[in-house]
Each structure stands twice: as C-alpha cells, then as structure tokens.
Structure 1
Amino acid sequence: MILTDPPYCVGVSSNSTKSSIIDNRMVLPFFELVFSEYERVLKEGAPLYINTDWRTYPLLYETFCSHFSMRNLIVWDYMWMKAGLYYRFTHEFIMYGTKGKRKRRFDGAQTDIWRIRCINYTDVKNKFHQTQKPTELIQRILQNDTDLGDTVLDSFMGSGSTGVACVQEGRNFIGIEQERRYFEIAQRRIEEARACRS
C-alpha cells in the first residue's frame, strides 16, 4: 500500500502573495513524477490513499487517474474547526485508488465519510508536525485494506504517524522524509511504538 500526505502546495505563492489556480498548477509536474514513481513501485492490485484538500483535489484528479483507478474520495471529518474566512474548515479529502483491479476487502456498509477527531482535539501534547494525522485514521485504512505483514510506503512521512500505526497493526513500513528534524522525531516515535509492542 501507499499511504501518504503530500504537501498540498496551496495558499501562498513564492512572492508571499495569495496564489491563484494558475499558480497551483505549477505543482502538476511534481505530482506527475510522484505518481509515475508510485505506479512503478506499487504491486498490481494494490491500494493507495493520498491526503489532499478541496483546493488541490481538482488539480490532482486527472493526473491520479492517468496512473491509477480512482475508487472513491473519502471525506475525513476531523470534528474540529480550523481557520476559514467563508466557513470554517472541518474536513480533508483522502483520494482512494488502486493499481488495476482489486477486490473490496472491507465491509460494504462502510461509507466515504469518516468522523475521526484530529490530533488537535485528542492528543495535542503529542503533536509534532503541523499536518500530523491521528494514528486512529491511519489504523482504519490499514485495517480496511491490508493484511498482517504487508508493506506500506509513506513518501512524505513527516513525524511518522503512518510508521507508528504500521507497528501497532503489524505491518512493515518504509518512510521517506527530507527534513532531518521530522525524520528524527519519526524515528524516535516508531522505536517507541516497537518497544511498547514487544
């Protein structure tokens, strides 16, 4: 599985002015490269879950679909109000797709709206990254769409929440993070999760 939360690259352009849809399109070559690499390394029939938001989703949809079969768009209602001028933000999107065909592995009664409290509400003292996701959200994905011993790739691992959830759920984990500070936080959190499990 690929399960990752890439930078949304929205909001402000390089000269610190508010960006437009044209500015945001500059990220498309980056995501074309990323999705090409995901297609290369992902096994046939395997799933991928990509976090995004309402501004980036329209830009990513076509590129995503040129490499994978789009299965659904999950709405994560984090039951918390973030900033917002014209209605406060209370959700994010998770693009769900597969490389080729894949039989559904989770209960058919599950919906595409998930109400899971964000870390700001549940565990703010253990918040190490601005966009850190709760392990409960990641565990749900792992439980739904992987088996014990499966390998999960997070190429934008931040503070390592996906790695922690993989340890807790008995999955193998490959994480990539370019900022050393966050890499070291992720490494520590994953090692602590392993110690708790053993």
Structure 2
Amino acid sequence: MIRLLPGILAMAAIVVASNVLVQILFGQWLTWGAFTYPLAFLVTDVMNRVYGPGPARRVVFAGFVVGVICSFVGTQIQGEFGPLVTLRIAMGSGLAFLTAQILDVAVFDRLRQGRWWRAPLASTLVGSTVDTAIFFTIAFSGALAFLEPGNDVSWANESLPLLGLGPTAPLWLSLAVADWGVKLALALIALVPFRLIVRRMTVQVA
C-alpha cells in the first residue's frame, strides 16, 4: 500500500481541489473544476501502467471515499441558493466518478499491450464520456426530478441555444458538452505527462 501512496495522495488532492473549484465559474459554461477533475484519469492510468489494474482500482476507491467526504461537507455548507452540494449532485458525482474510473481501468487493461498512447487515450476518452453523461444527467435533468423533489433544477432545464450557437436544448446539455470538450482536450494534453511520469516511475520500481 505504501507504494500506492503517491497515487492516492494525488487522487485525493485532485478530488478535493475539484470540489472546491467547481464553485468558481469560468466563463459562461464551465467552472474551474472542469480543468482539474480530468487529471484523475491521468493518475488512474499511471497507476494502471506501472502497477496494474488491481492497485489502480484501489487508488480509484480511495478517491471515491475522499469524494464522498467532500460531498458530505458540501451538504452542510449553505450557499446563496441552498446547500453547496445537493443530494442529486452528490449522487451524480459519486456514481459518475466510480463508474467512469473503473471503466477507465478496464479499457486501459484491455489495450495495455498496444502502442504506449493507445491505452491511456482510449480509456480516458471512454471514461470521460461516461463520467460527463452520468453526472450531468443525474444532477440536472428534469426527467429525474423525482430523485430530489425539493431541489429546483428548473434553471438547468431552461431552453437555450446549445453553447449559445447550436439548436435549442436544456442549459444543462450546454454545460455537459462544454465540460466534455475540456475533458477531451486534456486527454490529449495529458499524454505528455503520462509518458514522462511512467518512465520515471518505471525506473524507480525497477
């Protein structure tokens, strides 16, 4: 477990930072948390490459526990419009993180024998897509209002042009597409640190 400590600490730091930065808007469609959270996939993929799928899943579970704690703390803090973290956001965040990260581990492991960039890129793209779909649907879709009847998400279901340019769609879809776009961009950028970190850690492990 000691060998996994750097990965666990990095994952915990990313989860905590993302939970804080998601409260700060970046432009019209994003929050600052959108730029830190995708790094969780980088940590998972590095752990998977260096130590294998089992240890990678343990790092994911540690991040999930930290996320649950952050969500609980957020439910106790009152903001301008109520708790900083609603039940639907907590549910969406936890389920999205765990599902997407475990899927990332599985896809990476299936492709680990290919070119060095194939596994991290494919697993992160798949995981990021699933993560975005699960979180935004559970947290904001009007169709799931029964999950938390007291939580008014009508603001997220206001019909507006997609990203201000496309066809009319609920606001939360624009938020989801913008978030997904950042994840895809960072999946490509993260290939550079992935390669460098894996090389260094492989030498240390050897």
The two structures share one fold, judged by TM-score above 0.5: no
Whose strand fraction is larger, Structure 1's or Structure 2's?
A: 1
- TM-score for the superposition, normalised by structure 2: 0.31
Structure number with bigger Rg: 2
- TM-score for the superposition, normalised by structure 1: 0.32
Whose helix fraction is larger, Structure 1's or Structure 2's?
A: 2
